[in-house]
Amino acid sequence: MRVTVLGAAASHAAGGQACAGHLVECCDTKVLFDCGNGSLANLYKVTDPLSVDAVFVTHNHPDHYVDLYSMQAMLRYAPSGPVTSMPLYMSEDLYDRMQGLLSDRGAVEFREAFALHPLAHGVSVEVGPLRVTPMLVDHTEPTYALVAECDGARLVYTSDTAPGRRASEAARGARLLLAEATLPERYAGASPHLTARQAGEMAREVGAERLVLVHVWPTNDREQMLSEASEAFGGPVSIAREFDTFEID
């Protein structure tokens, strides 16, 4: 299994960055974990976006889904003709709300472009050989961490979350833990997100082999983050940048 970071920025992207988006590949199957602002343009740089098999959206914050609107146009007006029914795994509430911003015709086209598959806590879905299990975490309700398994490889993407039992349960057994690390240490607990140190503590608690920090506030001190996460984890840590690729076997 392989994950390519399309967007590593939290909430807004600074120059050259993008918000939450991850291309997860296993064998010939490709899925997106989140589709935040800027991630579709970056997807173009690494693969044909029409070759994506399914899209997963973890929660209803714009930095995780707004590029679905761009993807809708890309699918509808593909040179080879309209592409319909792209499987879209997300909450039904967000699927409905996204259409509320569109014209009546746009909403019809949205439903034609994307076939909704509502996420449910602990209920695995299979896309080709890839098994994805959504797990509720503590952020806005509902927010799902995503556990991806394929050929014995196990990747966990925390999505946005506060530290705690639910996030740790989702992360347990991850070979590679893709953990959000939004907050500088001095803001720990100020909002339902992790600091780099908390991400490191979680990685150690759940026995992850490798920690990759994503969803990083653009003005954060990355060196400081790296040293705090490394100290807490005691294993290999990376702070993701756009187009970083990680292999998980």
Give the footprint of Zn ion on this chain (CB under 5 A): 61, 63, 160
**Closest CB to Zn ion among 63 and 67?**
63
Q: How many CB atoms lie within 10 A of CB 125?
A: 16
**Closest CB to Zn ion among 31 and 66?**
66
We find the least distance from the C-beta atom of residue 34 to Zn ion, in angstroms, to be: 8
**Closest CB to Zn ion among 29 and 220?**
220
**Closest CB to Zn ion among 59 and 175?**
59
We find the least distance from the C-beta atom of residue 80 to Zn ion, in angstroms, to be: 33
| DSSP track, 54-96 | EEE---S-GGGTTHHHHHHHHHHT-TTS----EEEEE-HHHHH
In the three-class reduction of DSSP (H, G, I as helix; E, B as strand; rest coil), residue 150 is classed as strand
We find the least distance from the C-beta atom of residue 68 to Zn ion, in angstroms, to be: 15
**Closest CB to Zn ion among 75 and 90?**
90
We find the least distance from the C-beta atom of residue 176 to Zn ion, in angstroms, to be: 20
Question: Contact 89/65 with Cβ under 8 angstroms?
Answer: no
Cα gap 30→56, rounded to integer Å: 11
Q: How far is CA 95 from CA 12, 38, 102, 191, in A?
A: 22, 20, 12, 25
Cα gap 213→181, rounded to integer Å: 6
We find the least distance from the C-beta atom of residue 82 to Zn ion, in angstroms, to be: 31
Q: Tokens for 229, please give them.
A: 């996460």
